Amino acid sequence: MFQPFQPSFSTLFTHGSCPVLECWFMKEKVGGGLSGGPNQDKSLLYVHKHADSHRAESHDAPLEVNPDRLYFVTDPAATLCHRSLNPRRGSSNKPMCEINPLHPQPSTLELAVPLTEPALSPIYLHADWLSTALQSFDKTMSISAITRAPTGTKEHDVILTLTTKTVLVQSRLGAPVLLDCSFWANPSSPLTGTGFAVEWRYQFRGDGRLVLAYDGKSDRLSHTGEEGATLDFEALHGRGNASLILQEAKVHHSGIYICSVYLPYLQAQVAMELQVVEPPSLSIHPSPLPLTAQGQTINIQCEASGFAPLSLDLHWEFKGADGKTKVLGSGSLSSHRQLWDGTYTQSSRLELDTADLGRAGEVACVGVHPGGTRRVSVEINLIGFSSPSIEDSMAMVGVALVLYGLIKLVSWSFSGSGNNKTSLHFPLWLLWCDHESFNVYEIRHMFPLSLCSGSDEAATQQKVK
C-alpha cells in the first residue's frame, strides 16, 4: 500500500510547525501490458498554513528530486502539520506518503448524486488535482487529502481532508466501540456549499457490506445495515466528526472499516481495522483431582471457551514442590467449535504419568491468546508421600483415648465380678510409630505389645493417666 520514502539527503527541514513531506508520486500508466520503466517518482510537499508563507523553496530540494515533483501546499486547517507526520531528525521511522493524480467527476453513489448540481460551473474543476494518502510514522493516524492547483502551477490548496486516529482498534466482546473519522472542507471552495455525504463500509476476507450511509444535504440516514451502528449527528454537522459508533462489539464486527466522505465531484476515504478480542475462560475436569498412587496415570481435561479470534495455544505445565516448572506439552487437542455468539471453544486431554512427578505439585492448563494469557491449576497429591495433617493427628489421638476408655471399662467390669474392693489401675502407654508412609498410634495395656517394627522401638513414649 504505502511505501516509506527514505531519501539519501539530509537537507530537508521543517518550515514553521509544518514538516516537509517526502512522498512517492504514482505515475499513471499509459496503455496496457507490462511497463518497462519505474511508475513512481520521488516528490516533496512543502506545507504551510498560509498562502503568503510560501517562498521559492526549490533550492532546498536535493538533485535527485525532479523539480516538477515539488509541490507547495497551503493547509489552513493544518491537518498536514500534525506532529505525527514530523519525526525527529535522524529517525529511521518515516511517515508513509503516496500521491496520485485525481480527475474529479460526479459520483454514481445514490446518496451522493444530489450533491452534484447541474448549474455548477465546471471551470473550477479544470485544474491540477492531487489525492494524497499519508500514514504517521507511528502508524496511529491516516490522512487522505485532496488538493487543487491552477493548471500549470505547483501551488496547491487543500480542498478536503479526511483523518482517522484509530488505524487499529482492539475491543473486548460487548464493549462500545468508536471508529474515528473526521473531515475538513475548505469553505473557500465552491464545492463545499452544496452539502456532503458519509458512507461506512465493512470488508472482511473478500466479503463486504454497507454499514451506514448518511445524506448530509437532506439530513437523512439513508441506510443502516448494522444493528447498533450510529453517528453523532450534532458533532458531524458542527465539527465534521463522522466517527462510527458501535454500541456493542460482536465477533462478526472484526474486519476493515472504510469511511468515505463525498463532496460534489470529490471523494476521500480512510480505512481502519477493528479486532474484537476476547480471551478464553479455562476450566479443568475433574477438579479436585482424586488421590492417586505414584506410577498411575491420571486423565485430565482442560476446556477453553468463549474466546475470539480463533488463534489459541493450549498447553500443560507441572510445578513441583521444589518450585520448578516442567512443560508437559499440548496434550490431545480437539477441533474448534463455534458457539452461538461467534466465540469458539476447544479442549485438551492430558494423560499424566505420575511416575516422575515427585511427592506433590500443581498441574496447570495455560491458554496463550491475543487477548491475554490465562491459566487454571489444580493440586495433585500422591498416596505414600504426603505427611499426616493436623486433623489426621487429632483424629488418631481421639481414637487412642476411646480405646483407653474401653479398656478401663473392661477392667472395672472384671474388678466388680471378682468382689475386689481394691481399685485396680492398669498402666496404659501410648506409643507413636512413625513409618515411612503411615502413622500408627499404639495402645500398650499391661504388657508392651508393639505394633511397630524393631527400628521404631526408640519412639517416644508418653504415659497417659
Domain 20-276 bears CATH identifier 2.60.40.10: yes
pLDDT at position 381 = 78
pLDDT tens, residue by residue, 242-292: 999 999 999 999 999 999 999 999 999 999 999 999 999 999 998 888 777
pLDDT at position 163 = 97
Region 388-393: mean pLDDT is 63
Q: How confident is the model at residue 75 (pLDDT cuts 50, 70, 90)?
A: very high
Q: Where are the domains of the chain?
A: 20-276, 281-383, 390-464
Q: Residue with C-alpha cell 519505474?
A: 38
pLDDT at position 92 = 76
Q: How confident is the model at residue 61 (pLDDT cuts 50, 70, 90)?
A: low
Of the listed ranges 136-140, 306-310, 361-365, 428-432, the one predicted with least confidence: 428-432
pLDDT tens, residue by residue, 85-141: 887 777 778 899 999 999 998 887 877 877 777 655 678 899 999 999 999 999 999
Specify the fold of 281-383: Immunoglobulin-like (2.60.40)
pTM of the predicted model as reported, rounded to 2 decimal places: 0.74
Q: How confident is the model at residue 397 (pLDDT cuts 50, 70, 90)?
A: confident
Region 302-316: mean pLDDT is 95
pLDDT at position 132 = 97
Mean pLDDT of the chain: 81
Q: How confident is the model at residue 370 (pLDDT cuts 50, 70, 90)?
A: very high
**Selected residue with higher pLDDT from 91 and 166:** 166
Largest CA distance in the chain: 138
pLDDT at position 416 = 62
User: What distance in Å separates the CA atoms of residue 343 and residue 438, rounded to the nearest whole number?
Assistant: 50
pLDDT at position 60 = 60
Region 289-310: mean pLDDT is 87
Counting residues of the chain whose pLDDT is more than 90, the rounded percentage is 47
Task: Give the DSSP per-residue string, 78-139.
Answer: -GGG-GGGSPPTT-S---EEEEEEE------STTTGGGS-TTS-GGGGSSEEEEEEEE-TTS
pLDDT at position 56 = 47
The neighbour count for residue 333, using CB atoms within 10 Å, is 15
pLDDT tens, residue by residue, 406-455: 888 878 877 765 554 444 444 444 444 444 444 444 444 443 444 444 44
List Cβ neighbours of 360 (8 Å cut-off, separation of 6 or more). 320, 321, 379, 380, 381, 382, 385, 386
Evaluate whether 20-276 and 281-383 have a shared fold.
yes
pLDDT at position 307 = 96
Does residue 374 register a pLDDT over 50? yes
Of the listed ranges 103-107, 159-163, 169-173, the one predicted with least confidence: 103-107
The neighbour count for residue 155, using CB atoms within 10 Å, is 16
pLDDT at position 308 = 95
Q: Residue with C-alpha cell 496547491?
A: 156
Counting residues of the chain whose pLDDT is more than 70, the rounded percentage is 78
**Selected residue with higher pLDDT from 387 and 158:** 158
**Selected residue with higher pLDDT from 351 and 442:** 351
Q: How confident is the model at residue 295 (pLDDT cuts 50, 70, 90)?
A: confident
pLDDT at position 260 = 97
pLDDT at position 391 = 62
Sheet arrangement for strand 197-204:
168-171, 266-276, 255-263, 197-204, 207-215, 220-224
Q: Are 162 and 181 in contact (CB under 8 A)?
A: yes
Strand 197-204, strand 182-185: pairing: unpaired
Give the three-class secondary structure for 398.
helix
pLDDT tens, residue by residue, 219-238: 888 777 788 899 999 999 99
pLDDT at position 157 = 95
Strand partners, 77: none
**Selected residue with higher pLDDT from 202 and 416:** 202
Region 77-90: mean pLDDT is 86
Region 140-155: mean pLDDT is 94
The neighbour count for residue 214, using CB atoms within 10 Å, is 23
